[in-house]
Amino acid sequence: MYKIVADSSCDLKDFPSAPFETVPLSLSTDEATFVDDTNLDVTGALHYLSTYHGRSYTACPSTVAWTDAFDGADEIYVVTITSGLSGTYASACLAVDQFLAEHPEKKICVVDSLSTGPGLVLLIEKIAEWKEAGKSFEEVATQIVEYQKSLRLFFALQSLHNLAVNGRVNKLIASAIGIMGIRILGTASAAGTIDPIAKCRGDKSVLERLIKEIKECGYHGGKIRICHVENLPLAKTIAEKIREIYGEIDLQIVPARALCGYYAEQGGIILGCEC
Ligand code: X90
């Protein structure tokens, strides 16, 4: 039996078409810790964290959380948030080494998404599709790396505060946007780090620039997944605009879980596409 295991940055709580489990990252202040598992009240946790006066931070899953999730399957596909911004990929690799030492007969492949949220969703869906089609472990493990390279991730954020205080983005870039109505549009670099593209004033300008970027990266109507932090209206506006240009494409919108919600912050949008 095979299983797909992803960390909670994938924003999915379940994935009915394949055996699937998520392993939580955690979010903390000096007074409270929220485990980003499927029971978490995401809205409540994000509200607490955004109004807390003091520092807040995140932590990658423990190796035990990973090995518990591996249990019971013979063939495991692990999909993680970018190694360029998180220790999650490294903790998964460590867990795999420990697990294989005890269960040498198992097959495990760890995929570094070099992305987050929607980028993980596209990888998870592709693995499930290929397993459904009967591909072997070896085929999936090698081809998924190529597929990853065909994906692009864009984001439009109203604040980079949490990314900056946690050292995930340059403080100079972050300070440029604390102003009302300014959003930063960016993309994931090939190394899985944050690459700012432009400062945009208002949703209309974000939308125009995002569409231009999607066109220029070679998008021709492939799958699109969008994650939003309490901003379904903007996610829908983006979806409508893309469908206006490319027709009835395969596009889905999901709300962020806590990890992406914390870093993308209120109103944030993350979009992953096949290019
Ligand atoms: O504590 C940890 O190990 C987790 C650290 C995660 C840091 C980055 C999360 C980013 C989430 C922000 C916009 C998208 C940027 C994606 C670039 C690859 C969402």
Distance CA 222, CA 213 (A): 15
Amino acid at 269: I
Q: Please tell me whether residues 168 and 142 are part of one structural domain.
A: no
Block means of pLDDT (10 residues each) for the chain, 275 residues, are: 98 97 98 98 98 96 98 97 98 98 98 98 98 98 98 96 92 71 94 95 96 97 98 98 97 98 98 97
Per-residue DSSP letter, 221? S
Q: Please tell me whether residues 189 and 131 are part of one structural domain.
A: no
Distance CA 10, CA 117 (A): 4
Per-residue DSSP letter, 68? H
- Closest protein CA for atom 15 of ligand 1: 194
pTM for this prediction:
0.97
Q: Which of 107, 131, 149 is the last residue of a domain?
A: 149
Q: In the chain, how many domains are there?
A: 2
Pick from 224, 222, 15: nearest CA to 124: 15
Q: Please tell me whether residues 83 and 167 are part of one structural domain.
A: no
Identify the pLDDT of residue 178: 63
The SS3 of residue 114 is coil
Q: Which atom of ligand 1 is nearest to the CA of 88?
A: 3
- Residue 53 resides in a domain: no
Identify the pLDDT of residue 251: 98
- Residue 49 resides in a domain: no
- Closest protein CA for atom 7 of ligand 1: 85
Q: Which atom of ligand 1 is nearest to the CA of 115?
A: 18
Q: How far is the CA of 160 from the centre of ligand 1 (A)?
A: 11
Q: Please tell me whether residues 131 and 95 are part of one structural domain.
A: yes
Identify the pLDDT of residue 170: 83
Q: How far is the CA of 132 from the centre of ligand 1 (A)?
A: 30
- Residue 74 resides in a domain: yes
Q: How far is the CA of 1 from the centre of ligand 1 (A)?
A: 31
The SS3 of residue 263 is helix
Range of the domain at 80: 2-25+60-149
- Closest protein CA for atom 8 of ligand 1: 85
Q: Which of 131, 149, 167 is the last residue of a domain?
A: 149
69, two tokens: 């999730």
Identify the pLDDT of residue 176: 66
Q: Which residues of 148-164 are buried (b: 16+ CB within 10 A; e: fewer)?
A: beebbbbbbbbbbbbbb
Among 60, 151, 183, 194, the mutation site with the greatest number of ligand 1 atoms within 8 A of its Cβ is 194
Identify the pLDDT of residue 174: 75
Q: How far is the CA of 68 from the centre of ligand 1 (A)?
A: 24
Q: Which atom of ligand 1 is nearest to the CA of 195?
A: 17
Residue 95 has a CB neighbour count (10 Å cut-off) of 25
Q: Please tell me whether residues 135 and 161 are part of one structural domain.
A: no
The SS3 of residue 73 is coil
Q: Which of 91, 123, 149 is the last residue of a domain?
A: 149
Q: How far is the CA of 72 from the centre of ligand 1 (A)?
A: 30
- Residue 175 resides in a domain: yes
Q: Tell me, what CATH number does 19's domain have?
A: 3.40.50.10440
